[in-house]
Structure 1
């Protein structure tokens, strides 16, 4: 099947009769392939981010639309990075822990060796920079805000790592809009080895559309585009996303409502006898519980599903944000007949 021209547009856009794509002209309303590349979504996405993302001090270093690759969710962006930039059986990556387990699963899939480095600090927000720099790795995968801890990584540690590490630093920022901290994409001009991965599934509320984006230096994004399959995203998806992204003020209002409800839930969880620690920087809340079996049994009996010990993080629960009534039910369940015990 022939491919479209350099612009990625269909031949019809240039006034040609399209006899290249092997489409069925007798088909129904979905007979045509979508655009070869979905990156035409990048300008409207970046326009929305101008409102949704906090700026850096002085408004420094906003990437242009040419610095974004649109992907099928943030997970595909991570997969494309490994596919394009790491050599199977030769390269290695470092991952922190506890963190997004998909990093390690993807590395295994691509036959890339992994080194796990524990996060430090009472909030699991400190990077062991000396350990990370000592490892024979081509890249470091980070998640900020971190999943499953729901804490932001220490900003000074991140800057130090970017200044000292010569390899590729990939930061999954799927929950970036839930924080008041500027996105790491604003650092791209200063750090050409940095990759920022974003998601439209979380704060933007478009999970069913499965859209994400990858920001990086032109050389990195060029390599990623070479391994991306053709026609990756349906026109039905891009049309729906365009309509959502064209209303950034409404998206910002939804995020503000979400954050307010998250903070209400976190404040009340801090008063729960079941909760020893409460972390709430991301689009969910993580709590360390006094008695995991007791807490999970109560929630199970109340027909409330949460993530117990996410990524093997012992004695913790990861709790998504529900509606106000659902969250109130969660709080009532955890407060019921609670007895604090010592770990």
Structure 2
């Protein structure tokens, strides 16, 4: 696979914007190159457009090279950039699984790219052959979310390998929830598969959703194209510093993950006892549970009345009468269970 053949011609030939902070990389005593206000230091200075210091930290954490990292404003930025780099509007298409994270389709629609859906099986698993059969000569990208949202499960590794190996285009694996799984990240395969892009985030396990910091990992060649078309100062000074400080607290992150996994197990067992409401709790490799109930909309509205908000996924493919429940603190989970138990007892009385 020649990467250049997949890149949009206008992107391939694009001369990127050159900002002051990208032209000079180093330390100086006097900065008179960027038309900055000389007062109110350090906030008067533009941030590093390539986030070099932060990438060094992330590279050590992830055991890869800094040149294999693109830092985005949430994962949504690199998702959008994938379309801008590889897909010609009204000409190319992308293929993805269904159900999955809805932003892939939104980004496709914004960029005027056809979005093809391939339904997962009844266990929310991927069939590589069916997915590949949905591609054609105009398909540039395949999006896979694993662990998947809203189903919560990891996609079969062998099926993903078939997709990456046989598809002559870009494969994006979104690993927003990988920290809650006991399986290895696809990052270890970056050097093996030049067409692979892995997405991760600091929003979930690291508890930094408000910082809006997502990560794209790929070959140096692909990352160079991300850097070529992204906005120059896409990650501000405050976010870079905040993320950098938080990365020193990996033990704290691991402690949070451990507590969430413990609560996930307890929540699963308890929900399975509420037979008058709950029909099935699906296996989860994430920090949430997909739960099939007898009437999702009624249960959702009853919980709202008690000040408890979950996500109603009733209208999503293969998720009829399903609620997506995030694993909260022990106290939050207790309040949820107490509310559902009262509803369960009420329905038990009615059914008798």
TM-score of the superposition, structure 1-length normalised?
A: 0.88
Q: How many residues align?
A: 325
Indicate conservation of the 8 Å contact 1:2/1:21, yes or no: no
SS in 1 for 2:75: helix
Q: Structure 1 residues 142 and 310 mapped into 2: Cα distance closer, same or farther (>3 Å)?
A: farther
Partner of 1:80: 81
| Superposition deviation, residue 208 in structure 1 | 1.4
Q: Does 1:234 align with 2:236?
A: yes
TM-score of the superposition, structure 2-length normalised?
A: 0.86
Q: Does 1:329 align with 2:335?
A: yes
Question: What is the CA RMSD across the aligned residues, in angstroms?
Answer: 2.1
Partner of 1:113: 114
Partner of residue 24 from structure 1, selected from 29, 37, 43: 37
Partner of 2:325: 319
| Superposition deviation, residue 162 in structure 1 | 1.4
Kindly report which structure 2 residues correspond to 1:164-313, keeping only aligned pairs within 5 A, or say none: 164-273=166-275, 274-279=277-282, 280-309=284-313, 312=316, 313=319
> Distance in 1 between the 2:269 and 2:196 partners?
35
Q: Structure 1 residues 203 and 310 mapped into 2: Cα distance closer, same or farther (>3 Å)?
A: farther
Q: Does 1:38 align with 2:41?
A: no
| Superposition deviation, residue 39 in structure 1 | 4.0
Q: Structure 1 residues 81 and 263 mapped into 2: Cα distance closer, same or farther (>3 Å)?
A: same
Indicate conservation of the 8 Å contact 1:48/1:246, yes or no: no
**Gaps in structure 2 of 5+ consecutive residues:** 1-16
Indicate conservation of the 8 Å contact 2:128/2:160, yes or no: no
Q: Structure 1 residues 140 and 276 mapped into 2: Cα distance closer, same or farther (>3 Å)?
A: same
- Superposed CA offset, 1:291-328 (max 9, x none): 22332232122111111026623211011122111111
| Superposition deviation, residue 333 in structure 1 | 1.5
Partner of 1:59: none
| Superposition deviation, residue 148 in structure 1 | 0.7
Q: Structure 1 residues 98 and 283 mapped into 2: Cα distance closer, same or farther (>3 Å)?
A: same
Q: Structure 1 residues 167 and 232 mapped into 2: Cα distance closer, same or farther (>3 Å)?
A: same
| Superposition deviation, residue 267 in structure 1 | 1.9
> Distance in 2 between the 1:239 and 1:175 partners?
23
| Superposition deviation, residue 26 in structure 1 | 4.1
